């Protein structure tokens, strides 16, 4: 089922999401929520989604970048990942600003500084512990979704609001390099 997106201004977007107990992960309702979040992310051509973006205050994030993604055609492929109770346990020193958008802040883009490399610890959809290093676009998506789970949006991270653009203007000027 496609879920309704929570937009900025809705208190759930600014709320700290609650961790799941390991015993909750394999429950049918949790697995159904994960499936619905995946469908919702695909419906909106997203590359990531956090549970509070669909009105559920739980620490679940989903990400995936398929080949030739409609919004990110040159992005490297990232296999479907379900991250439950994700933590960024280490941030690399190198920071790069790049463009971000958000399902909860529709129609806008802005440049956001993020660590190029991070170390992540989480549980997968089966409750298994995973720990890995992510870099570049993969790291950016995880940081973006973890911000959501902590009640933040990309606008909070922007150093220069002069880069904030409506999507049509972003496509016309920023994306085209004009």
All structural domains of the chain with their residue ranges: 11-174
Q: Give the pLDDT confidence score for residue 177 in this predicted structure.
A: 62
d(CA 147, CA 164): 18
- Count of C-beta atoms within a 10 Å radius of residue 19: 15
Answer whether 123's CB lies under 8 Å from 129's CB. Answer: yes
Name 169's Cβ contacts closer than 8 Å, sequence gap at least 6: none
- Count of C-beta atoms within a 10 Å radius of residue 149: 25
For the segment 133-178, what is each residue's pLDDT rounded down to a tens digit? 999 999 999 999 999 999 999 999 999 999 999 988 888 877 666 5
Tell me, yes or no, if 24 is annotated catalytic. no
Q: Please state whether 38 falls in left (phi above 0), alpha (psi between -120 and 50) or beta.
A: alpha
**C-alpha dihedral (157, 163, 166, 168), degrees to nearest 10:** -130
Q: Give the pLDDT confidence score for residue 49 in this predicted structure.
A: 98
CATH fourth-level superfamily of 11-174: Peptide deformylase (3.90.45.10)
d(CA 47, CA 79): 10
The DSSP line for 142-168 is: HHHHHHHHTT--HHHH-S-GGG-EEHH
- Name the active-site residue from 117, 131, 145, 169: 145
For the segment 113-136, what is each residue's pLDDT rounded down to a tens digit? 999 999 999 999 999 999 999 999
Instruction: Name the pTM for this structure.
Output: 0.95
């Amino acid at each position: 089922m496609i879920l309704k997106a929570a937009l900025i201004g809705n208190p759930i977007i600014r709320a700290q999401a609650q961790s799941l107990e390991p015993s909750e992960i394999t429950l049918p309702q949790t697995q159904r929520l994960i499936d619905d979040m995946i469908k919702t992310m695909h419906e909106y051509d997203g590359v990531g989604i956090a549970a509070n973006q669909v009105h559920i205050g739980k620490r679940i994030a989903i990400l995936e970048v398929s080949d030739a993604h409609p919004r990110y055609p040159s992005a490297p492929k990232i296999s479907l990942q379900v991250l439950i109770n994700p933590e960024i346990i280490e941030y690399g020193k190198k920071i790069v600003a790049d463009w971000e958008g958000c399902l909860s802040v529709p129609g806008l883009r802005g440049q956001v500084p993020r660590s190029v490399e991070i170390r992540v610890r989480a549980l997968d959809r089966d409750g298994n512990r995973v720990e890995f290093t992510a870099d570049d676009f993969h790291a950016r998506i995880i940081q973006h979704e973890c911000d959501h789970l902590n009640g933040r949006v990309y606008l909070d991270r922007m150093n220069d609001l002069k880069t904030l653009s409506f999507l049509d203007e972003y496509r016309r000027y920023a994306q085209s390099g004009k």
